[in-house]
A and B are shown apart, each in its own frame.
Chain A
Amino acid sequence: MASAPTVPPTSAPPPPPRSSGRGSKKGLGTLYRGTEGMWSWVLHRVTGMLLFLFLLVHVLDTALVRVSPEVYNEVIGTYKTPIMGLGEVGLVAAVLFHAFNGIRIILVDFTAKGPRYQRVMLWVVVGLTVVALAGFLPRHLSNVFGGH
């Protein structure tokens, strides 16, 4: 389906009114609701909220350098445990998606052809996220699980 709004042929009956907020069934969805445009927006929100909460925690734990080297090392040591190490994978994945999708949003907003290619660009965003994460994973997992 093209990303341009599809106008139903005039002979066809108008689509029934959509009573609830459910996603599209049988292609009756709107241009936005229930399609990639909506899900990228949802994911951008969820990752953004997650990153903000982590940012608050991360500034706090870093501030412990002002308490003492011992206290800082103790707390930052928890970042090197397997469970937190996997959490950092999720965190980096969230950063990557939010960053690449942010560029997509900027291109949609500021370039003439952006809106037409928003759907293709989402899959580019997903691809770049996967590729970058694949570059990060082996390195990070060996740092976490490699017995340092």
Chain B
Amino acid sequence: MTGTIPDVASPRAKRSQAMRGGINTELYAWLFMRVSGVILIVLIFGHLFVNLMVGDGVAAIDFAFVAGKWSEPFWQVWDLLMLWLAMIHGTNGVRTIINDYAERDVTRIVLKALLYVALVVTVVMGTLVIFTFDPCPVGSPADLLPSFCSA
């Protein structure tokens, strides 16, 4: 027995499509979770502070409160960013969970299809709401509207 190393099969996995080149979507998904996560901490902590801590908190939230916030572009952009980042971040998280637990191909495909439909519907609807919102709808009682409507 000399020091010859026997012919051992390579323990390495075959290089996947992603590793061989092209766009490594899993790498970018992984990176996105971290980058969006940090931004979401700022956005969601700010959202929770303004809506639940300042003033009367949850007790003060009504149509006039939302209308007051969305009359300012600052909160429109804030909420738009929060909507998009949180939905994509959450969708990618649930995609990972589905991939982990749904072992049958059909189950996995169906669940992910439902997930992506929910993503598109929620993001499109939320975006439309933020930008087509009318803080002073005609015919609504003035006491339900923000004070600037009657000015």
Contact = CB atoms under 8 A, between A and B. Distances in A.
Interface of A: 45, 48-49, 51-52, 55-56, 59-60, 62-63, 65-66, 68-70, 72-73, 76, 79-80, 85, 88, 92, 95, 99, 102-103, 105-106, 109-110, 136, 139-140, 143-144, 146, 148
Interface of B: 34, 37-38, 40-41, 44-45, 48, 52-53, 56-64, 66-67, 83, 86-87, 90-91, 93-94, 97, 118, 122, 125-126, 128-129, 132-133, 137, 140-141, 144-145
Given A55-B90, A76-B61, A49 B97 contact: yes
Contacts of A73: 62-63, 144
A110 B140 CA distance: 53
Contacts of B53: 136, 139-140
B58 A85 contact: yes
Residue from A62, A65, A95, A102 whose CB has the most chain B CB atoms within 10 Å: A65
A148 B56 contact: yes
Contacts of A45: 93, 97
Given A73-B144, A136-B52, A62 B66 contact: yes
Contacts of B128: 66
Contacts, number: 112
B93 A48 contact: yes
A108 to B, nearest CB: 11
A1 B71 CA distance: 56
**Pairs of residues from A and B, 5 with the lowest C-beta to C-beta distance, nearest first:** A143-B57, A52-B90, A69-B63, A148-B59, A69-B144
Contacts of A110: 34
Given A72-B63, A72-B66, A144-B58, A88 B52 contact: yes
